[in-house]
């Protein structure tokens, strides 16, 4: 099984790579080879790798600064993952998108709505 991990140089990405099962081939990515601000970069990297899964650990994480750079934060945290899902739909892969309690606090007893 091939898995792309976005944000592979971040805390979560590094932890996932370190603890992965042996049978999983990890394809690490960061903004240098899969730039969430660049649709062409997203499509090219994923279509070349043809992963079974992508675990999206990449994000704009500076919450206070995101209030000032709303467009940039939206592009990285929403538009980028949307493009990832489009490519995966075409090649038959799956997406696991990881978020934080700043978006989902985990207190709801009902499914979250988009």
14-46 pLDDT tens trace: 999 999 999 999 999 999 999 999 999 999 999
HSE-up (13 A, CA, CB side) for residue 84: 28
Is residue 101 predicted with pLDDT exceeding 70?
no
Do residues 66 and 103 touch, judged by C-beta distance below 8 A?
A: no
| pLDDT over 70, % of the chain | 91
75-84 pLDDT tens trace: 999 999 999 9
């Amino acid at each position: 099984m091939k898995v792309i991990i976005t944000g592979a140089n971040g805390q979560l990405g590094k932890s996932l790579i370190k603890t992965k099962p042996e049978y999983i081939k990890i394809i690490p990515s960061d903004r240098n080879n899969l730039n969430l601000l660049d649709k062409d970069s997203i499509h090219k990297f994923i279509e070349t790798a043809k992963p079974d899964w992508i675990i999206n650990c990449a994000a704009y994480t500076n919450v206070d600064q995101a209030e000032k750079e709303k467009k940039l934060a939206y592009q990285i945290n929403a538009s980028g993952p949307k493009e990832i899902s489009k490519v995966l739909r075409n090649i038959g892969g799956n997406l696991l998108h990881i978020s934080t309690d700043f978006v989902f606090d985990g207190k709801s007893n009902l499914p979250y709505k988009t």
